[in-house]
């Protein structure tokens, strides 16, 4: 029996069942299929909890780990079954191992440990939700395939809110689209899109965020310029939202405090706390620029965006929503 | 009787009447109120025709002029009543004079001629639809007010299609919002928004296009990078359109030829012909950057955008839709 059909058979019973996020669950020792989840940060923890809630209604058992003791404790407090090391996940005979790690370095550190500690005759599906370099995805895809495993890169869009609400979009790269079809019951979100072969999920995520950074920077500059020229920020946002500058960064995540106060939502709503941090944007832009350099693609705005978010991070704004650029441009503290 | 109430009284009868664009009209010598229209380019000509169609149902008579004989002939062929000089418009005792000129220089050249050639005791409403520097709008507002006239800056959004279909949005700056209320029957579009005092219409237009340029550049870079990394452009556009990079530049005016072929629409649909030209974007960005410098506003992405569109224009792409930047980034001819 191939891995693909093993997963399909074991997980089929949970198809279409998505337990409400936040619902409590019990770990079932009778479960025959284990799913490992490594990386319990702001994104990984709610994702793993949602997965465990789904698992509760199926014969799936989720076992979670994070190298950070605080994160691991949070998972325990949430009622998750946890492992004490990456090796323990590797030795747990998981049919699927999901990783949600900070970047390429962490993926390169964790994956070999998983390979060494797992049964060499078993076949595992590796689902990497981390945002990594497309070449990292392709490299691990090839190496894991050679060892009889399957892999897909599946970075997400939707942020912490999407992770918590179970409304993420998964951008999937895998050589065989059937892999995604079979992994569907694991999807902790609303949608999954097959973007292409191995690495295409990672590439799509970076491209979206490259375009997003330029959009946010453009909106920050426009809102700042308009206000300085005497245009009411609320009117300016309203005009742009019904004109050609209409965008998520203007409409949903507008960076201007006056717009946030008016609408009760936007990047500045909670003094730029939460949301998508500037240092995460810097990281994604660094990956995009590096991928562009490898592919011989000119990214003039991408490079400038990366350097601006780099500077914002150096100025202590790394944990603030990336809309904080409006304040950074002004030389003001958020 | 003040100018405002004169306009209101004379034009009230046309309120709510918008004749179908392209409908023929006859110039009425019995008309008591003349509206001058100067600047019959790609935008001005269809705007003036739409206005004349409205005028046909009211006691308004439109008289048009352009310094370019070709443009003037096009207007004559369209059945417009035309003048042979700016002076003739000035001497026509117009209650309203609309200008749709290429920029500040043209506005600075035309307005004094209008003032000199018109009845010094008459009061005229000057509606400047040109995209100009906010300081140009404020300067003329003050000078015209001093001479007993009224003025509003009313640049438009919606392009040649909006001008032809009569679906433009007017971004209006005028000290007294009542001026816009009274000028409503003249609006050759769907909407007019009072953005603030004199100059605020010009400022809003520049801010929208500043943000728009950053958005288009980001989408061009993302589409180019994604394709180079093996992502299908149609899938990439689809993901971005349902994610945080959703924007007019990705959704409506996507610059990728494959997306245009798939959808039958987008910047590349007609090999980047028509649409909003790169040299017009360069011009608007130059104004925005200049206004930013005057106001002490940092515009890092705006400055880079301006220089990129400057280079594209120098490379002979000035008349191509600004989505042509995708090809320029690649070193390819559109």
Q: Give the domains, in start order, of chain A with CATH numbers.
A: 3-198 (3.40.50.720), 204-329 (1.10.1040.10)
Interval A257-280: pLDDT, tens: 999 999 988 999 989 998 899 999
pLDDT at residue B152 in the model = 97
Interval A21-58: pLDDT, tens: 222 223 334 445 899 999 999 999 999 999 998 876 66
pLDDT at residue A160 in the model = 87
Residues B58-82: what's their mean pLDDT?
A: 92
Whether residues B247 and A243 touch (CB distance < 8 A) is answered with: no
Interval B165-188: pLDDT, tens: 999 999 999 999 999 998 888 888
B218 → closest Cβ in A215, A240, A253: A215
User: The complex's ipTM?
Assistant: 0.89
Q: Which two tokens stand for residue B183?
A: 């000028």
**Partners of residue A131 in chain B, C-beta under 8 Å:** none
Q: What is the largest CA-CA distance in chain B?
A: 69
**Partners of residue B169 in chain A, C-beta under 8 Å:** 239, 242-243
CA dihedral defined by B105, B142, B3, B86, rounded to 10 degrees?
A: -20
CA–CA separation, B75 and B48 (whole Å): 9
B252 → chain A, closest CA residue? A244
**Facing residues of B128 across strands?**
B99, B153
Nearest-Cα distance to chain B for A219, in Å, is 5
Contact A127, A171 (CB under 8 A): no
Find the angle CA(B288)-CA(B291)-CA(B296) to the nearest 5 degrees: 120
In 3D space, the residue among B57, B82, B192, B69 whose CA is nearest the CA of residue B129 turns out to be: B192
Tokens 């001005």 -> residue: B44
Active-site residue identified among B59, B147, B205, B306: B205
Q: Which two tokens stand for residue A212?
A: 């997003």
Rounded-to-5 percentages of helix, strand, coil across chain A = 55, 15, 35
Q: Give the β-pairing of B156-157 and B168-173.
A: antiparallel
Three state DSSP letters for A182-195: HHHHHCCEEEEEEE
DSSP secondary structure letter of residue B185: G
Q: Which residues contact A139 (CB under 8 A, 6 or more apart)?
A: none
Interval A213-252: pLDDT, tens: 999 999 999 999 999 999 999 999 999 999 999 999 999 9
Q: Could you tell me the CA-to-CA distances from A256 to A274, A328, B41 in Å, in that order?
A: 16, 12, 37
B89 pLDDT higher than 60: yes
CA–CA separation, A298 and B218 (whole Å): 12
Q: Give the β-pairing of B150-153 and B156-157.
A: unpaired
pLDDT at residue A57 in the model = 67
For chain A, what is the mean pLDDT?
89
Q: Give chain B's length.
A: 334
Helix, strand or coil for residue A149? coil
CA–CA separation, B154 and B290 (whole Å): 20
A243 → chain B, closest CA residue? B157
- Secondary structure E strands in B24-139: 33-38, 60-65, 81-82, 94-99, 125-128
CA–CA separation, A76 and A66 (whole Å): 11
Q: Which of A161, A172, A173, A222 has the most B C-beta neighbours within 10 Å, making it the best mutation to test the interface with B?
A: A222
Q: Give chain A's length.
A: 334
A19 pLDDT higher than 70: no
pLDDT at residue B161 in the model = 87
Contact B151, B4 (CB under 8 A): no
pLDDT at residue A23 in the model = 27
Contact A226, B208 (CB under 8 A): no
Q: Which of B215, B224, B259 has the most A C-beta neighbours within 10 Å, making it the best mutation to test the interface with A?
A: B215
pLDDT at residue B10 in the model = 33
Q: Which two tokens stand for residue A107?
A: 């993926």
Q: pLDDT confidence of B28, banded at 50, 70, 90? A: very low
B208 → closest Cβ in A199, A222, A248: A222
Q: How many other C-beta atoms can be found within 10 angstroms of the C-beta atom of residue B112?
A: 13
Q: Which two tokens stand for residue A177?
A: 């689209």
For chain B, what is the mean pLDDT?
89
pLDDT at residue B32 in the model = 57
In 3D space, the residue among B270, B272, B301 whose CA is nearest the CA of residue B288 turns out to be: B301
Whether residues B228 and A195 touch (CB distance < 8 A) is answered with: no
Nearest-Cα distance to chain A for B34, in Å, is 31
DSSP secondary structure letter of residue A173: E
- Secondary structure E strands in B33-184: 33-38, 60-65, 81-82, 94-99, 125-128, 150-153, 156-157, 168-173
pLDDT at residue A59 in the model = 73
Whether residues B244 and A217 touch (CB distance < 8 A) is answered with: no
User: pTM surpassing 0.90?
Assistant: no
Q: Give the β-pairing of B60-65 and A33-38.
A: unpaired
Q: Which two tokens stand for residue A309?
A: 């978010």
CA–CA separation, B225 and B90 (whole Å): 54
Q: What is the largest CA-CA distance in chain A?
A: 69
CA–CA separation, B14 and A284 (whole Å): 55
Residues B195-220: what's their mean pLDDT?
A: 98
B212 → chain A, closest CA residue? A245
């Amino acid at each position: 029996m191939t891995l693909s059909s093993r997963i399909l058979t074991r997980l089929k019973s949970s198809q279409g069942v998505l337990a409400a996020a936040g619902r409590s669950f019990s770990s079932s020792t009778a479960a025959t299929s284990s799913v490992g989840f490594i990386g319990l940060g702001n994104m990984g923890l709610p994702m793993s909890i949602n997965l465990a809630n789904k698992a509760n209604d199926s014969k799936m058992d989720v076992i979670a780990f994070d190298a950070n003791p605080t994160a691991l404790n949070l998972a325990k407090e949430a009622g998750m079954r946890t492992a004490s090391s990456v090796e323990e996940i590797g030795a747990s005979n998981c049919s699927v191992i999901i990783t949600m790690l900070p970047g390429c370095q962490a993926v390169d550190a964790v994956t070999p440990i998983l390979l060494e500690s797992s049964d060499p005759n078993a076949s595992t599906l590796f689902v990497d939700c981390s945002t990594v370099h497309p070449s990292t995805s392709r490299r691990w895809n090839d190496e894991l395939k050679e060892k009889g495993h399957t892999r897909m890169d599946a970075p997400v869009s939707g942020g912490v809110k999407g992770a918590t609400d179970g409304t993420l979009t998964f951008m999937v790269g895998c050589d065989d689209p059937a892999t995604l079809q079979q992994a569907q019951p694991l999807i902790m979100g609303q949608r999954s899109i097959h973007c292409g072969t191995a690495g295409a999920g990672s590439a799509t995520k970076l491209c979206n965020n490259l375009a997003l950074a330029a959009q946010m920077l453009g909106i920050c500059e426009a809102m700042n310029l308009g206000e300085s020229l005497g245009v009411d920020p609320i009117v300016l946002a309203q005009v742009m939202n019904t004109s050609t500058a209409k965008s998520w960064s203007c409409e949903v995540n507008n960076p201007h405090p006056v717009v946030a106060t008016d609408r009760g939502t936007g990047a500045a709503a909670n003094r730029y706390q939460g949301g998508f941090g500037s240092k995460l944007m810097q990281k994604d832009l660094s990956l995009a620029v590096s991928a562009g350099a490898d592919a011989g693609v000119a990214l003039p705005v991408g490079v400038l965006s990366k350097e601006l978010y780099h500077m914002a991070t150096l100025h202590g704004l790394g944990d603030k929503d990336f809309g904080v650029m409006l304040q950074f441009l002004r030389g003001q503290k958020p």
